[in-house]
Chains A and B, each alone.
Chain A
């Protein structure tokens, strides 16, 4: 029931609703969904609105809200309806999202009425005598419009840990400079109009030392979740799908966990003990690309990617069904077939008898990968457009493509003739320049190049004299705030209509982080290769010479010992080589260079090189290689490694006088290689793990002490990178057959900076 109405600032009204209950509680930051039934018929879209609850503490059975006056039907009602008019209220809803609670410093940036969630908190803190470190930057067009200003100012005055900056003007990122004194490890909270907030969220991490993940905003329906609607008052809109959640949320620990999870953009699901989905949140829906209806009632396994060995899934089920919490990284499959990686935690929930009743899962999308993909997609689209001359600078800078703005890509257009360099906001932000600073020239831009590369970069830019020419380079820059960054520049020269001269259009993006990671990986690879291999070489050569008798014939056991020394050293060297190859592959910078290859020759050449081993073991070797195999386009560096690993394994793990068969055939799509042996075989329980890193089956460890446990892992990576697949069949003490395919169409080439070390 509408109970009171008063003007609290210029154009701002506070309304109090009296509830027909004595008991109403809410958490600061929660909001109320107010529905005006009489508007349902006139303008149904306008009959419901959400407002932050700012009821002062210890005033039960009322809901207080405040809003800027406007001409909308809804607000008109609130402003004009007689006191005592009835409304429907669904409350409390949502949460003021603070990932870590108030225990860490908070930077709160509010535009106008965006202050209300904080007001609600400040009142609660004041009432409960709790003080936290909060930095408030509050932007209003004029001070008369700042509702509750004196109250907030008063709270800030008596609490030295609360710092209030009231700014008059229009919210923009640069105006924050000078007001924010801490940003490290603080949570940021942005509140105001959604479009302003969105813009600020993207720009703040570029200016301040804060990560995107630590910036939060208000979560109204449509943006977030209404998970907390367990306490529903006077409502006709009984939520149905969250009934089970309501029960669970009575457990305060669970409520807290949910609260945290939703706020952090976690994918949440509730399943019964069989894994049938009972509840999913919006984030889950967005990421999995299934609708709620499609998910609820289904078993969670519909999201299974099948990309992990069965042992991973089994371990998961074994853990949770025994009542323990499972954590891990899982690759799932969305409805459209795309994959996504999630950091997953699954918690079993027990019924009063102590039996498992349900499972709650929380999954956090593994970002970085996601951002990199978005960035790549945005860049590709952009380059396509540039290529096809579908766009020009004006359009580009206006483009509000979220992927592009979230990827923070700067655009520029440079006309050497006119000495003009047009840029967008993102471009300036990458260089930490003031956004007003739009009158750049190539000379002023180049001031930010690192002196070591300045001449070279300018030379490259000036060389772009023919239309259609493309340029791609990484530039070390020193920004306006003296920060060193690596910026990737991609540009294309274009002709100017009715003019003989050209212009250069392009994009820049900040790739500093990526460059750092690449550097660390490269450093590791060279460190590992040089620092580990050099002492190994010395051990190897010394023992080698000792064994040859270069320093006198070795006697009895001496020979055996030195021979053991040499064996171990060789094993270590192989391990280093295999690790290096795996890191090369995993760095994503491995070059794939397919050339037409005679597989038959490749196999036979390799087998000839290991003939002595085959003869020593008196193995019977059979070849069944199709005569009409012809040439297949693969990277022989990768494939020779595959044959080496599989044939060497067959030789090593087959007892003397056994048989090894190498069969290469082809069907319509694939060249199929089968390498069979009559060896020790792979025990059933080891079969699931055979392609995992560092895994060696117990049975063969007795016969062959060397072996790194990396060979098959590497082999699988290589086959897959070549466009094929690998599988095996094995029976203990009977033998093993490894089968792998290679596409007849050949492997796709991939540029890269490193190759495999065979």
Chain B
């Protein structure tokens, strides 16, 4: 089963992610911010991490940096999912090791699932 860790601070999106992952048959943990991502990673080894950018406590960029500098986590693909689409940001985040960048509002739920599948390379 594909294991997904998602950080999303918007209450509604947080809730939908849970439902979406459940329907897709993924094992998912949805948390509210970067700090919780780092905490969750200590006991949960996901196949992919979906990171929002603007989050309280620890934002997406900082979280990505911590993931990519930790030898234990750096191989986990990270999808940046944000509604802010500044090109410079995208380039920077990709250079920092993000697998891809998703503008949420332009993606259907199916497209999100597809994206996760493509990034995890069909992890079982």
Contact = CB atoms under 8 A, between A and B. Distances in A.
A536 B105 contact: yes
Interface stretch (A123-131, A309-317, A737-745, A749-757): A749-757
Interface string B17-35: 0011001000000000000
Contact of A537 (B19, B88, B104): B104
A555 to B, nearest CB: 19
Contact of B109 (A533, A541, A577, A753): A541
Nearest to B90: A755
A535 interface: yes
Dominant secondary structure of chain A at its interface with chain B: helix
B84 to A, nearest CB: 5
A50 interface: no
A231 interface: no
Nearest to A576: B105
B13 A541 contact: yes
A466 B23 CA distance: 63
A538 B13 contact: yes
Given A533-B105, A541-B109, A542-B16, A753 B88 contact: yes
A526 interface: yes
Given A545-B109, A548-B109, A533 B83 contact: yes
Contact of B86 (A535, A542, A576, A754): A754
Contacts of B110: 544, 548
A492 interface: no
Given A530-B54, A753-B88, A757-B103, 15 more contacts: A526-B86, A533-B83, A533-B105, A535-B12, A536-B105, A537-B13, A537-B105, A540-B105, A541-B108, A545-B16, A545-B109, A548-B110, A591-B87, A754-B86, A754-B88
18 contacts: A526-B86, A530-B82, A530-B83, A533-B104, A534-B13, A535-B12, A536-B105, A537-B10, A537-B104, A538-B12, A540-B105, A541-B20, A545-B19, A545-B20, A548-B109, A573-B106, A754-B87, A755-B87
B75 interface: no
A550 interface: yes
A534 B83 contact: yes
Contact of B10 (A538, A550, A576): A538
Contacts of A542: 12, 16
Contact of B83 (A537, A541, A753, A755): A537
A451 B19 CA distance: 49
Contacts of B69: none
Dominant secondary structure of chain B at its interface with chain A: helix
Interface of A: 526, 529-530, 533-538, 540-542, 544-545, 548, 550, 573, 576-577, 591, 753-755, 757
B83 A529 contact: yes
Contacts of A538: 10, 12-13, 16
Nearest to B15: A538
B110 to A, nearest CB: 8
10 closest A-B pairs by beta carbon, nearest first, are A533-B83, A755-B87, A538-B12, A533-B105, A537-B104, A537-B105, A544-B109, A541-B16, A550-B23, A573-B105
B91 to A, nearest CB: 9
Contacts of B54: 530
- Considering residues B83, B86, B108, B110, which has the most beta carbons from chain A within 10 angstroms of its beta carbon? B83
A573 B105 CA distance: 7
Query: B interface, how many residues as a size bin?
Result: 20 to 34
Given A538-B10, A541-B109, A757 B85 contact: yes
Interface in B48-71: 54
B44 to A, nearest CB: 24
B105 A526 contact: no
Nearest to A544: B109
A540 B105 CA distance: 8
Contacts of B84: 526, 529-530
Nearest to A577: B106
A534 B87 contact: no
Contacts of B13: 534, 537-538, 541
- Considering residues B23, B54, B106, which has the most beta carbons from chain A within 10 angstroms of its beta carbon? B106
A316 B56 CA distance: 53
B59 to A, nearest CB: 12
Nearest to B81: A537
B51 to A, nearest CB: 15
A577 B84 CA distance: 11
A530 B19 CA distance: 22
A563 to B, nearest CB: 13
A673 B107 CA distance: 30
A204 to B, nearest CB: 40
Contacts of B86: 526, 754
A537 B23 CA distance: 18
Contacts of A541: 13, 16, 20, 108-109
Nearest to B11: A538
Contacts of A591: 87
Contacts of B82: 530
A616 B23 CA distance: 29
A757 B87 CA distance: 8
Interface in B90-124: 103-106, 108-110
Nearest to B9: A534
Contacts of B10: 534-535, 537-538
A25 to B, nearest CB: 66
B108 to A, nearest CB: 5
A336 to B, nearest CB: 37
Contacts of B12: 535, 538, 542
A372 to B, nearest CB: 24
Nearest to A755: B87
A530 B85 CA distance: 9
A581 to B, nearest CB: 11
Nearest to B82: A530
Nearest to B83: A533
A552 to B, nearest CB: 12
Contacts of A576: 105
A537 B13 CA distance: 8
B26 to A, nearest CB: 14
A376 to B, nearest CB: 24
Contacts of A573: 105-106
Contacts of A544: 108-110
Nearest to A539: B12
A701 to B, nearest CB: 25
B83 A540 contact: no
B62 to A, nearest CB: 18
A757 B103 CA distance: 10
A633 B69 CA distance: 39
A550 B109 CA distance: 11
A573 B108 CA distance: 12
Nearest to B13: A538
B1 to A, nearest CB: 18
Contacts of B19: 545, 550
Contacts of B85: 529, 757
A577 B88 CA distance: 17
B86 to A, nearest CB: 6
A584 to B, nearest CB: 10
B22 to A, nearest CB: 9
- Considering residues B54, B87, B110, which has the most beta carbons from chain A within 10 angstroms of its beta carbon? B87
B96 to A, nearest CB: 19
